[in-house]
Amino acid sequence: METRTIVLGRFQPFHKGHAAMVTSALELLKTSGKRLRICIGSSEAEESLENPWTADEREQMIRAWLDETQGHKSKETEIVHVPDLNDPPNYVKHAEKFHGAAGRLFTSDQNTADLYEAAGWYTILMSHENRDIWQGWRVRATMQMMSTITDEVAVKAVLRESIPESVVDFLIENNALRRLAFMGHGGEPVG
């Protein structure tokens, strides 16, 4: 597999922080003619409040956003699924089987950058943008609260603060938001 610049994340869901990071990586690659490989981590994760969407659904979210923002060039971005190993010291070697050998990692996570640098990767560490509202757990908590609301206009207005419009549309059109209402801790539905 050809070495590439990769962006690695769980994308649970693909939110505006991820969009900013992928946009920056695409801008970096624009003049090189090289392609980006987006790696969906924890691709095997069982459905839970922390991992409510399958790897295929997350890929569809990313593709919806890429199609909206990149148009015909969206097909130039590869997406691969990387199952978790739950063994940080050996993770990069494991992940390389799915995303290819040492290249460049574009990330906003220092721990991930450290693991990849130790494995011989060149890392580009992006500063967090709007970290206080664009953290996955915060986005999921907001989504869970909105999952029982039937006013689609209100749901879209709230979620578009932290999730790209095309992803919000995907979640609503595919009934992928509603399931969060039934994923509360202890088995109790929200609302």
Beta bridge partners of 7: 38, 106
What are the pLDDT tens digits along the chain (191 aa)? 567 899 999 999 999 999 999 999 999 888 887 889 999 999 999 999 899 999 999 999 999 999 999 887 788 899 999 999 999 999 999 999 999 998 999 998 899 999 999 999 999 998 876 666 667 788 988 999 999 898 999 999 999 999 999 999 999 999 999 888 888 654 444 44
Q: What is the DSSP string of 70-103?
A: HGGGGGGSEEEEE---S-HHHHHHHHHHHH-SS-
Helix or strand or coil: residue 125? strand
Domains along the sequence of the chain with CATH: 5-125 (3.40.50.620), 136-187 (no CATH)
Q: What is the pTM of this model?
A: 0.89
